[in-house]
Amino acid sequence: MSWLRNLSKFSNIKSSQRPNKTDPFFLLPSFTFLSHFSSQPIEEKPSVKHIEYASSLQPTKPHEKPRVVVLGSGWAGCRLMKGLDPNIYDIVCVSPRNHMVFTPLLASTCVGTLEFRSVAEPIGRIQPAISREPGSYFFLANCTSIDAHNHTVHCETVTDGEQTIDPWKFTVSYDKLVIALGSHPATFGIQGVNEHAIFLREVYHAQEIRRKLLLNLMLSDVPGISEEEKKRLLHCVVVGGGPTGVEFSGELSDFIMKDVRQRYTHVKDYIRVTLIEANEILSSFDDRLRLYATKQLTKSGVRLVRGIVKDVKAQKIILNDGTEVPYGLLVWSTGVGPSPIIQSLDLPKAPGGRIGVDEWLRVPSVQDVFSIGDCSGFVESTGRQTLPALAQVAERQGKYLASMLNKIGKEGAGHANSAKEIKLGDPFVYKHLGSMATIGRYKALVDLRQSKEGKGLALAGVLSFFIWRSAYITRVVSWRNRFYVFINWITTLIFGRDISRL
């Protein structure tokens, strides 16, 4: 503390007016000792670099609240945390992201229809106990491995290349562990995708797309840029015709038709959108809706191309038939697969490489481990199909597991290895509520059938668009963001989209 004492040589005010020794810092209560924490003795000048600290959040004691550790902060993990009772459990979340992304609205942020913060929900708002309860924490870290036999996860902090902080390793003991680590974008081993394409899953992806789109719009206006280069810079290629790819294409064409025409008049005739899909676009939707979407997108100027990408270079992609497609912006959205951390875990697997779970979302063969969301699938012995990687599946599983864990906790079986004899109640059953997608120009598809073969309502058009908006605005987690989404929609309607490149 010597530097702190030195700093008290404060002398801005004349000595008679000098603040007395009741300086707020000296009045601070002595720093609370956090009994959960243990650490190696501290060196006098800590140099964190390259030292593996044996730091840990130790196992809970029988008289303490049991601890649920949640890996991940996506739909599944956040819905689970929201539902967990903080009077029963301490909740610890480990994730490289301190917020949940409201993914259905992410495509709208790329062109400024919505702002980035309107679709990001801080975890501390989803489950306030995380920031208030003394035994609950959020750790900005990646899980590097799981030691299921010792009820421990290994973690490393995320530092984003900051110079002043070095990565830090620590372990967290759990009573119950929920793996909700999500999935990874599928690249099918195609070279160059990771280097040159932008995915559309996180807020920083949307930020990158927005920055690049505005950069290209401005650069294409510079004297001496050739016609061909101008067309390349302003060619936006979307690979993958699922809901994300289609919604992003629709948003882009809205942006072009309304804002680019007004605000980039010099280059407006050069900008184009191409959507490349190997099979059918929106394959999970009703045929009539798909046809409608195809017509609408084409009308809005989106070129639909059936093709398979073979290779991705810095300024062009090459299709299977040899066609070269120059691009200025490449967005990749061809579905998801298991992430490297999931593949590396020594746990039972489901078909497709996901973590295997039983009907109660438990990982068999180990105690107190559960898995939900895109990273999990039913083990073969359950005879159940793998569920699609959808927000509604993840959310439903999070909700189910939260109430099951609350039940277990209420029955006194919250601590590690104490739930062996407990009755778990009904297994998890997924009922598909239908699918929605916007296609631009205030039009959307709403398919309320339970399966592709089932019967039910399937709507397309402007009414669907308002159903889409109403459905999502009510599902945005906090009132704050509900308010901001609404305000963003209004201002986009009145003033157009924001084009400052921050």
The closest alpha carbon to 97, from 134, 153, 143, 48, belongs to: 143
Q: Which stretch binds its own copies (CB under 8 A): 5-13, 61-69, 369-377, 455-463?
A: 5-13
For the segment 287-316, give every residue that binds its own copies (CB under 8 A): 291, 294-295, 298-301, 303-307, 314-316
- Cα angle value 181/184/187 (rounded, 5°): 170
How far apart are the C-alpha atoms of 434 and 286, rounded to whole Å? 11
Smallest distance from the beta carbon of 422 to its own copies, in angstroms?
Answer: 29
How far apart are the C-alpha atoms of 426 and 187, rounded to whole Å? 37
437 is an interface residue for its own copies by CB under 8 A: no
Residues in contact with 405: Cβ distance below 8 Å, sequence separation at least 6, in sequence order:
68, 80, 84, 89, 176, 178, 370, 414
Q: Which stretch binds its own copies (CB under 8 A): 158-166, 177-185, 354-362, 365-373?
A: 158-166
Identify the sign of the CA torsion 79, 151, 385, 423.
negative
67 is an interface residue for its own copies by CB under 8 A: no
How far apart are the C-alpha atoms of 386 and 380, rounded to whole Å? 9
Alpha helix positions (H), 234-348: 243-255, 261-263, 287-299, 340-344
How far apart are the C-alpha atoms of 471 and 366, rounded to whole Å? 39
How far apart are the C-alpha atoms of 200 and 416, rounded to whole Å? 38
Q: Looking at 55, 382, 403, 418, which residue binds its own copies (CB under 8 A)?
A: 55
Q: Which stretch binds its own copies (CB under 8 A): 10-18, 347-355, 387-395, 448-456?
A: 10-18
For the segment 357-416, give every residue that binds its own copies (CB under 8 A): none
31 is an interface residue for its own copies by CB under 8 A: yes
The closest alpha carbon to 169, from 57, 13, 6, belongs to: 57
172 is an interface residue for its own copies by CB under 8 A: yes
Residues in contact with 185: Cβ distance below 8 Å, sequence separation at least 6, in sequence order:
199, 201, 332, 333, 334, 335, 336, 337
User: Residues touching its own copies: how many (CB under 8 A)?
Assistant: 131
Please state at what angle helix 462-475 crosses helix 479-495, rounded to 10 degrees: 140
Q: Of 327 and 370, which CB lies nearer to its own copies in the complex structure? A: 327
Q: Looking at 83, 326, 335, 461, which residue binds its own copies (CB under 8 A)?
A: 326
For the segment 451-490, give every residue that binds its own copies (CB under 8 A): 478-480, 483-484, 487
430 is an interface residue for its own copies by CB under 8 A: no
Q: Looking at 21, 29, 421, 455, which residue binds its own copies (CB under 8 A)?
A: 29
Q: Which stretch binds its own copies (CB under 8 A): 2-10, 344-352, 406-414, 435-443?
A: 2-10
Binding mask 103-132 for its own copies (x = CB under 8 A): ------------xxx--xxx-x------xx
CA torsion 362-363-368-370 (nearest 10°) is: -60
Q: Looking at 272, 415, 449, 469, which residue binds its own copies (CB under 8 A)?
A: 272
How far apart are the C-alpha atoms of 344 and 362, rounded to whole Å? 19
How far apart are the C-alpha atoms of 242 and 201, rounded to whole Å? 13
For the segment 181-240, give every residue that binds its own copies (CB under 8 A): 195-196, 203-204, 207, 211-212, 214-216, 218-219, 221-229, 231, 233
For the segment 72-101, give every residue that binds its own copies (CB under 8 A): 97-99
Strand partners, 169: 156
Q: Of 366 and 477, which CB lies nearer to its own copies in the complex structure? A: 477
How far apart are the C-alpha atoms of 469 and 471, rounded to whole Å? 5
40 is an interface residue for its own copies by CB under 8 A: yes
Q: Of 44 and 426, which CB lies nearer to its own copies in the complex structure? A: 44
Q: Of 83 and 192, which CB lies nearer to its own copies in the complex structure? A: 192
Smallest distance from the beta carbon of 403 to its own copies, in angstroms?
Answer: 26
Q: Which stretch binds its own copies (CB under 8 A): 243-251, 258-266, 423-431, 448-456?
A: 258-266
Q: Of 315 and 367, which CB lies nearer to its own copies in the complex structure? A: 315
162 is an interface residue for its own copies by CB under 8 A: yes
For the segment 135-154, give every residue that binds its own copies (CB under 8 A): 137-141
Q: Of 260 and 446, which CB lies nearer to its own copies in the complex structure? A: 260
CA torsion 201-446-482-263 (nearest 10°) is: 70
Q: Which stretch binds its own copies (CB under 8 A): 155-163, 332-340, 432-440, 465-473?
A: 155-163
Q: Looking at 61, 165, 412, 450, which residue binds its own copies (CB under 8 A)?
A: 165
344 is an interface residue for its own copies by CB under 8 A: no
Residue 195 phi/psi, 5-degree rounding, is -80, -40
The closest alpha carbon to 103, from 433, 322, 336, belongs to: 336
